[in-house]
Structure 1
Amino acid sequence: MLRLNRVGGVLLLLVVLVGAALVALATVTRPRTTGALQLRGLNGPVTVTRDRWGVPHIRASASDTDALYALGFVHAQDRLWQMEFQRRVAQGRLSEVLGEAALPQDKFLRTWGFYRAAQAALPTLNARTRALVSAYTAGVNAAIAQDRVPLEFRLLRFRPEPWTDVDSIAWQKLMAYDLGGNWDQELLGREVLEKLGPDRLNQVLPPYPKSGPTILSGQDLPRARTASDQGAALPQEALRELRGTLAAARALGFENAPGKGSNDWVLGPSRTTTGGPILADDPHLKLSAPMLWYLADVRGPDLHVIGATIPGLPGVVIGRNDRVAWGVTNVNPDVQDLYVEGASAKLTTRTEVIRVKGQDDVRLTVQESAHGPIISGVNDRAGHVGPRVALKWTALMGGDTTFDAFLGLNYARNWTDFTAALRAYVAPSQNFVYADVDGNIGYYAPGRIPIRRGWDGSLPVPGDGTHEWTGYIPFEALPHTFNPPEAQVVTANNKVVPDSFPYALANERLWSEPYRAARILEGLNAHPKLGVEDVQRVQQDTRSSVWRDLKPFLLATRPDGDASARALDLLRAWDGQERTDSAAPTVFEGWLLNLQNMAQDELGAGVRLNSLAVLNQLRARGPLCAEGGQGDCARLLTRTLAATVTALQGRLGQDPNGWTWGRVHVSRSDHGAFGGVQALAWLWNRSVSAPGGTNTVNVARPADASLAFTHAPSYRQVIDLAHPNRSVFIGTLGQSGNVFSEHYADQQALWARGAYLPMSTDPRDWGRTQTLTLTPGQ
């Protein structure tokens, strides 16, 4: 007994000491949110009023630069580690603080030259943008000077360097990579040709269905010019080298995963019950802790904007001002090409020095051709042995004025201002939906999109001058509409225009499957007029159109035993709604995941077909159903159902009725640096059960056999232009990146159940507040 008491006393003492340490850390890392601070660089006083959710409402009377200064200040107060991690990613400097484990990522990032591209972009920006970016930078550095750095800096034992204007530009380059690339698909397409032949290309990478909806109609447009060829061969050693580069990118969370995408749409006044337009948007991106977005309301003398910002970037990326609202989804244009350079290609060389924590510096030789950086062989331990493969990409080329465009949108007062701002847009090309308080709606797909003659960009090509871009689609010719007769525009990464459009935006394999777009249209067109709550219900829709298409094939499966038969019985009674309290989605999504792996015996682990490819194989009784060249689709269905059931029994028990979706379908919002460190992950990582699944409107595709999901609506907004302060928005976790803050994850439960916060500039909607006053100082 005495021994037990001593052990208990020691444990109690440890708990007390740990608790005291956490309280101390919470105190020294918590930012000032009340009182007053004198800060150098301000022109006049600024108030920062945080509402009950920690959303800052910034009010600057002297200048708009003061408003952006304050935004930089609060970004750094609440998300300094996120900003530091993001800029180190862009710079390729993770190894300095994380050690050798981050070296493959740094080599990838230095070779592609994201930060060099940002350095080149900064001088091309206009004077207003440069002034606002510089003010934002000054605000960030004023917060760093307060010396209340987050816990991550203390654990890794380094202090943040001063922020620079280039740091703000750099993350836009990484967002362009995450949203605007198809080089990995070119690799897969080449591998299909090499291993399976050209007849299988459309089976693995199916083109967009002819019956799928397009964002815009175009019956009166001239016939498009189409072309394709077999590209340039890539031997297996080159494919292996490039897969190493792809793995480094995926380790950073940049992945072109099946089902990844976004939704946005806009309804004109004739389609709403409010008398004004309603605009909805929910970008689907990688979940993280802290969350990517930061909600903010920023007001200066001329700048009046509220919505979703990204820490590290000045201005609102998605949202509204007092006259105009906008939302974005990814266009998925083909703006990247791989060039197989010949032995005679002229190459330039530079040396990148990568500092590695605890080890000697690593010297990386980077080569570039006329097309772009040589990206093959970067992380290949055997050394470069295959042909040199260069990447040509609009986001790495000169003259990127995308920042001018985004800050221009913040100031737009009408459609003319809006489109004028978008002229400066380069990458990543987005489907912009538009609405204003005068009742107008519109759509534009801006960006620098190359023109190819005689080839479609779907495969690597020789760098011998026979496959060169001949210019870019003129801005006036890019897809757009203003007050369309349908009084609505719906985008969900689906095909933008029909084949009659005179330019090729992308090859037919790049568009997302049509399921989300078709389901949104179905939901909107079910009512002659919709209100804000109706639009929210469409945004939260979890009925699976994938199930509707696959249902006849799956239910015809011959079960191999009682357990499989009981699982099929669950599916026969299912309405297709992927709710957390239902067991049928668990069976369906687990089974679909196994079916999506059907090409791995031909193409290797990691190749995952999309839902449309699976459907096409089952419809045609296609050859990919065979395993090792043996079997057919009927046997595949029996085998994969049995494997699914066995796995679920092992995790969730023998009774299928207990396999509810919410037990396994949980979000994974992991910390960038410590999310995979077992001793620390518990402190930062967050998860929550949520509805939805593969290609549902409220998308949450399982990432792997665990059936957890890592990509989802990272932000939601529904904006009512008739009553702007009745608009709503929500993030996935919370405003703060400080784990000790009440606002670290206080939005997560609301987000999971489909609730929203008020997107209001009216103090009466803010609830309990805290106000910090910033005044000019010496």
Structure 2
Amino acid sequence: MARTSYLKSWKFRLPIILAVIFVLAAVSIWAWWRSSLPILSGEIETGSLEEPVVIQRDAQGVVMIQSQDRNSSAFALGFLHAQERFFQMDLLRRNSAGELSELLGQAALKKDKKVRRHQFRKRAERNIAVMPSDQRELLDHYVQGVNFGLTQLGAKPWEYLLLGQEPRPWNAADSLLATYSMYLTLQSEEGNFERRDTALAELLPEDLYAFFFPAGGTWDAPLFGPNEAEIPVPQTPISTLLKADDPIVYQEMESDDKVYGSNNWVVGGKLTEHGSAILANDMHLGLSVPNIWYRAGWNIPGSDRKIRGVTLPGGPIIVAGSNGAVAWGFTNTGGDWGDLIPLELNEGATKYRTPDGWRDFTFEKETIAIKGKEDETLEIRKTIWGPVIGQNYRGVPLAYRWIAHDIRGGNMNLLRIESATTTQQALDLGPEIGIPHQNFVVGDRDGNIGWTVAGAIPRRVGFDGSRSVSWADGEAYWNGYLSTEEQPRIYNPPTHRIWTANARTTDGDWLKLMGDHGYALGARQQQIRDGLLALEQFDEQSLLNIQLDDRAIFLQRWQEHLAGFLKNQEGYSEVYQQVQDWGARASADSVGYRIVRNYRLKFMELSTAPILAYMRKFDPKFSFGQLKRQFEYPIWALAQQEPQQLLNPDFESWTALKLAALNQVLDKMAATGSPLQQQTWGAQNTATIRHPLARAIPAINWFAAMPSDALAGDTHMPRFQSPTHGASERMVISPGREDLGIFHMATGQSGHPLSPFFDSGHRDWVEGNPSPLIEQETHYKLTLH
């Protein structure tokens, strides 16, 4: 009886005990999690500063740093980056160093091996060794601030607990590795555009190549120079590329231009009420939690000015913003900043030919640490021009001559923008700035505006860089870099307007200097240009309106084409009505926009598939990549002219191909089970902004992801938007009038889900509300002594 009573009592108490254990565990985890939050207020003795630093944060966590010593403010920025964003910084340095496997395990090994060939850690250490002493001193203070900030957290950043890892201290080379990580985002580490383009030019009949892969066309909107001429429809039948039994290969096109790029433009003082320039910049990048940028500002010692904008965690620099006298922004150029060199080998493939005769390859070994496994050794084969990074479709090894490998390719010279007080002074910095090459657009408080390329431009001799050519005989080579005087530059153009959006910006000799590594289709750039030319007076709101412009101007003719096609087709009345009522915008609630947009891409896929099938015969992994960016010109001609000789052999007529394209689009929409009227553009273009670890640990989306908002905007318009890519920031600034500036940023300042700044400001980014650029009322004050 006693035993029975005891068992009943235990059965009653066990759930309570388990509940208590669960609650205690949850409280412990919560307490630990909170202890890894950054310090927001109070005073800290650092033992490292020349002068004290006051860090002020507003309600959104926007930072203003005050100190009489620039090195001390660099220390403070490092402290802030480590407290708010250390895991992000760690991923940036490991990404370009090829060291992700040490943190994430075997899943990252393939990527590490690919990147490690460039030996960016060794290059960063080399570049640090020759850095000017004032920059090195400032960087050293930043590094000290990072490591001090990391030690001041009550617990290591929460990501390391999930991974079972310890954070590794920061060093000076790591800051350059953050810059190299942007190279890997904005340029190809394997010269893919040149490799693919060279293969297409060599393998396709000349008229087919010219038609399907033009340099540009009527959508271009360069700062000067004419548009490219339209290419006539070729007469060579596309069926000649394939044998009768060759299968056609299809590769779905999510977008023809999922561009890593940006928009920026500036208007001169003659077009503003106050006489100062106004600059707009929205840098399009992958969207994740936290945002790639961190908002900050600091006073410039020895002046009455403050510098504000966005920093890249890992470095002590305002990347884009205003210093009170000059405002600047960036977009990726799309120029050609590297060359693939097919090597001429001896019979045993042990030597390669150079202008000085046969040479042995140099071999270096790199050790890759892998979490939970034995280290692996990678052997890198090197030439006098660069590492061997692969081979072409004929199996010939390719060496890569890339500016990122040179000392000029990675430095801290953008720091000098702090002292620039005129547009001319800022533009003079262009050739010396060691970052992935950018359209550098500038305006000053006196109303002057300008454009140049930020980054060193090679002086090519004996070739133009558009094709892979041998350098063995010494006739093709790089002869240093262009000087400041030789660097392309535009200053105060007659229109008082400058615009760039990753498409071709120049013509003539300047275009030859910059080359082509996959310019974006000009439609987005053209829409920006036309929006600027439509107004004669500007303020900050008018520039934000252009940034948020989601009018479907580019797709208007495709909408008319599809509506005309559907009008004569039975059984498509509902679809026809949606297309007719599409609204002419990439609005989240439009069904017709989604149909038109996806029909065009599917038509592109079906009509160009024979070329893909042909190229796969030579390279089984061939894909069009950035070469499809100019497909609009041939596919529009095909849709209108319907040339029989260019019809995909899988279809009996162009009508059949068009119906197949439309039906595949509609079938994919219907697969969700929802009626057509609910299949809006927003249902497809839904934000998926997550933490980098979410793919491996989906459960963290519960607390570390942004809301799944239906988003307006799309590829070929100023409001560039996809579920995972878009405007990482939007900024409108008039230098000296920053209090009128506007700023948007996806996600928030902090990478910690419990931080009050985790998603502060995100709603303004989604909705386009004109939120302020400068920091508002101080909510938190922290002093470093």
1:323, CA displacement in angstroms? Answer: 1.1
1:561, CA displacement in angstroms? Answer: 6.9
- Are 1:615 and 2:636 counterparts? yes
1:69, CA displacement in angstroms? Answer: 0.6
- Are 1:770 and 2:780 counterparts? yes
Paired residue type of 1:45: P
1:195, CA displacement in angstroms? Answer: 5.5
Match of 2:692 among 652, 672, 692: 672
- Please list, as runs of the form range in 1=range in 2, the aligned pairs for 1:212-227 lying within 5 A after superposition: 212-216=220-224
1:209, CA displacement in angstroms? Answer: 1.3
Which region of structure 1 is more displaced relative to structure 2, 469-478 or 555-564? 555-564
Match of 1:395 among 368, 393, 404: 404
Native 8 Å contact 1:191 1:603 kept in 2? no
Equivalent residue, structure 1, for 2:239: none
Equivalent residue, structure 2, for 1:238: none
SS of the residue corresponding to residue 632 of structure 2 reads: helix
Native 8 Å contact 1:279 1:325 kept in 2? yes
- Are 1:375 and 2:389 counterparts? yes
Equivalent residue, structure 1, for 2:501: 492
- Are 1:103 and 2:109 counterparts? yes
- Are 1:750 and 2:770 counterparts? no
Match of 1:738 among 749, 752, 755: 752
C-alpha distance in 1, partners of 2:368/2:283?
Answer: 34
Equivalent residue, structure 2, for 1:282: 282
Equivalent residue, structure 2, for 1:459: 467
SS of the residue corresponding to residue 565 of structure 2 reads: coil
Q: Deviations over 1:253-275 (max 9, x none)?
A: xx995444211111112212444
Paired residue type of 1:494: A
C-alpha distance in 2, partners of 1:502/1:99?
Answer: 44
- Are 1:444 and 2:458 counterparts? no
* Distance change >3 Å, CA 626–CA 663, structure 1 → 2: same
1:622, CA displacement in angstroms? Answer: 5.9
* Distance change >3 Å, CA 151–CA 305, structure 1 → 2: same
- Please list, as runs of the form range in 1=range in 2, the aligned pairs for 1:687-766 lying within 5 A after superposition: 687-701=708-722, 709-721=723-735, 723-760=737-774, 766=776
Paired residue type of 1:31: P
C-alpha distance in 2, partners of 1:528/1:735?
Answer: 36
C-alpha distance in 2, partners of 1:200/1:525?
Answer: 37
SS of the residue corresponding to residue 317 of structure 1 reads: strand
Q: Deviations over 1:289-322 (max 9, x none)?
A: 2110001112242473100101001110000012
Native 8 Å contact 1:274 1:531 kept in 2? no
C-alpha distance in 1, partners of 2:402/2:110?
Answer: 21
Equivalent residue, structure 1, for 2:598: 590
Match of 2:62 among 51, 55, 65: 55
Native 8 Å contact 1:652 1:659 kept in 2? no
SS of the residue corresponding to residue 469 of structure 1 reads: strand
- Are 1:359 and 2:373 counterparts? yes
- Please list, as runs of the form range in 1=range in 2, the aligned pairs for 1:61-210 lying within 5 A after superposition: 61=68, 63-147=69-153, 148-181=155-188, 183-193=191-201, 196-209=204-217
1:477, CA displacement in angstroms? Answer: 2.5
C-alpha distance in 2, partners of 1:179/1:200?
Answer: 29
Paired residue type of 1:326: W
C-alpha distance in 1, partners of 2:54/2:645?
Answer: 62
* Distance change >3 Å, CA 10–CA 592, structure 1 → 2: farther
Equivalent residue, structure 2, for 1:684: 704
* Distance change >3 Å, CA 719–CA 469, structure 1 → 2: same
- Are 1:43 and 2:45 counterparts? no
TM-score normalised by the chain length of structure 2: 0.85
1:324, CA displacement in angstroms? Answer: 1.1
C-alpha distance in 1, partners of 2:192/2:511?
Answer: 27
C-alpha distance in 2, partners of 1:218/1:569?
Answer: 39
Native 8 Å contact 1:352 1:364 kept in 2? yes
SS of the residue corresponding to residue 538 of structure 1 reads: helix
C-alpha distance in 1, partners of 2:557/2:453?
Answer: 30
* Distance change >3 Å, CA 720–CA 623, structure 1 → 2: farther
Which region of structure 1 is more displaced relative to structure 2, 715-724 or 165-174? 715-724
Native 8 Å contact 2:429 2:454 kept in 1? no
- Are 1:435 and 2:449 counterparts? no
1:200, CA displacement in angstroms? Answer: 3.1
1:187, CA displacement in angstroms? Answer: 2.7
Q: How many residues align?
A: 718
Which region of structure 1 is more displaced relative to structure 2, 540-549 or 185-194? 185-194
C-alpha distance in 2, partners of 1:501/1:87?
Answer: 34
Native 8 Å contact 2:732 2:742 kept in 1? yes
TM-score normalised by the chain length of structure 1: 0.86
Paired residue type of 1:667: A
- Are 1:663 and 2:683 counterparts? yes
CA root-mean-square deviation: 3.1
* Distance change >3 Å, CA 273–CA 587, structure 1 → 2: farther
Paired residue type of 2:513: A
1:206, CA displacement in angstroms? Answer: 2.9
* Distance change >3 Å, CA 256–CA 631, structure 1 → 2: closer
Paired residue type of 1:497: T
Flag structure 1 segments of 5+ consecutive residues without an equivalent: 220-254, 379-383, 702-708
SS of the residue corresponding to residue 77 of structure 2 reads: helix
C-alpha distance in 2, partners of 1:559/1:767?
Answer: 59
- Are 1:642 and 2:650 counterparts? no
* Distance change >3 Å, CA 594–CA 385, structure 1 → 2: closer
* Distance change >3 Å, CA 757–CA 131, structure 1 → 2: farther
C-alpha distance in 1, partners of 2:416/2:134?
Answer: 9
Equivalent residue, structure 2, for 1:222: none
Larger Rg: 2
